[in-house]
Amino acid sequence: MQDQLKIILNFFLLIAVQVLILNNIQLFGLINPYLYILFIITLPMSVSTGVMMLIAFLLGGIIDMFSNSYGMHMSASVLVAFIRPYVMGLFASREDMEKPAPTYRNFGVSFFKYATSLVFIHHFVLFFLEAFSFSHFGVVLLKTLCSGLVTMLLIFGIQTINFKRR
C-alpha cells in the first residue's frame, strides 16, 4: 500500500514540476526538459506493458492538456511505455530484472544507459511529431540532443539524491 501511494505521489509531483516549472523553460528554442518521462522509466517491473501504456497515455494526455500540444506527448509516452521492456532487456542483467523498480540504486550504471535510451527516443519522437517534416530533421536532432542532455542531467541529479538519501 505504501509503495502504491509513493507511485501516485510521484505521478502528480512530476506532472506539477513539468507543468509549473519545466514547461516555462525554453532556452535558445532548443532546450526544454521533459522530466515527466522519469515516471514511466522508473515504474516497477511488476507493472504489465498494457497497464504501463495506459498510464503513459494518461500521463502524456495530462501534459498535452497543459501544453496545448495535441497528443504529441501522449504518443511519445505510449511509445516509450511500449518499448521499455525491450530496451531494459538490452541493458539490464537477469538479476537486475528481478529487482522491484529500475533505479540507479537497483541497476547501477545500467540504469543510465537504459534511461538515456528511452529519454532520447521519447524526445526524438516528440520533436519529430512537432516538426512533422523531414525538411527539419537537423533541427529535430539538435533539439533532441540538447533537451535530452538537460533531461538526463535532471534525472541523474534526482537519482543521485535518492541514492544518497537511503
How crowded is residue 64: how many other Cβ atoms within 10 Å of its Cβ? Answer: 17
pLDDT, tens digit, 9 for 90 and up, residues 53-74: 999 999 999 999 999 888 999 9
pLDDT grade, residue 87 (50/70/90)? very high
CA distances from 18 to 28, 45, 108 (A): 19, 24, 26
Q: Which residue in 132, 6, 1 sits closest to 69, CA to CA?
A: 132
Domain that holds residue 74: 2-165
How many Å apart are CA 84 and CA 153, to the nearest integer?
A: 20
Amino acid at 104: Y
Matching residue, cell 544507459: 113
Q: Which residue in 2, 3, 1, 31 sits closest to 101, CA to CA?
A: 3
pLDDT grade, residue 165 (50/70/90)? low
Query: What value does the mean pLDDT of the chain take?
Result: 89
Tally of structural domains, the chain: 1
Instruction: Report the predicted TM-score, pTM, of the whole model to 2 decimal places.
Output: 0.91
